[in-house]
Structure 1
């Protein structure tokens, strides 16, 4: 299938599909005229990529985890699975740090709000 067909089937733009190819995630064959020729299973691969990206992973993280988590989990080696788990643990730690930072910022904002509210002069009726 051509890039436009894959785009329609998956909702990913042709530009994004070329980006996935550049990242080494998709490897379409090329016709003699240079047109990309995708396999039917590439549509499922694109769906997996988009799902991984939607979960907050970067494209490089998704690329590293794709085979182990989505395409061929049974065929993954123990070292591949371990590497994927380490990467997911690192990403989880980054998210936890971000959440803690946001919670601290929220506490500061609520403290400022409370301080301003306390200092407000009572309105007379």
Structure 2
């Protein structure tokens, strides 16, 4: 697929996709005329990049950890190069875990509210 289609499917601008290529976290194929083309896995990769950015990862950290996240069954972890900034990754992990805890508490509160509302016959 071309860059415009990838942009449409992921909600990421073509300019940002080109930036991801520039910093080494997205790797398009180049056709004979130099146009960028992307395989189907690029959709998931871009969404993964967005999630990591939203979690507070820098593009440098993403470049280091993406190879480790490539295989969903974790086989690639053993082949993953040592990440240079382990303290930064630990900090990000702690931040993600705090966000997950907060989301779980919010979910439980909303569920309790909905149950109470439904039990009251509203």
TM-score (norm 2): 0.65
Distance of aligned partners of 1:41 and 1:25 in 2 relative to their CA distance in 1, 3 Å threshold? same
For the residue of structure 2 that corresponds to 1:76, the secondary structure is helix
Distance of aligned partners of 1:77 and 1:5 in 2 relative to their CA distance in 1, 3 Å threshold? same
Runs of 5+ unmatched residues, structure 2: 96-122
What displacement does 1:77 show? Answer: 2.5
Runs of 5+ unmatched residues, structure 1: 96-125
Q: CA RMSD in A?
A: 2.4
- Computing the radius of gyration from Cα coordinates, the structure with the larger value is 1
Asked if 1 retains the 8 angstrom alpha-carbon contact of 2:25 and 2:59, the reply is no
TM-score (norm 1): 0.64
Distance of aligned partners of 1:2 and 1:61 in 2 relative to their CA distance in 1, 3 Å threshold? same
**Structure with greater proportional helix content:** 1
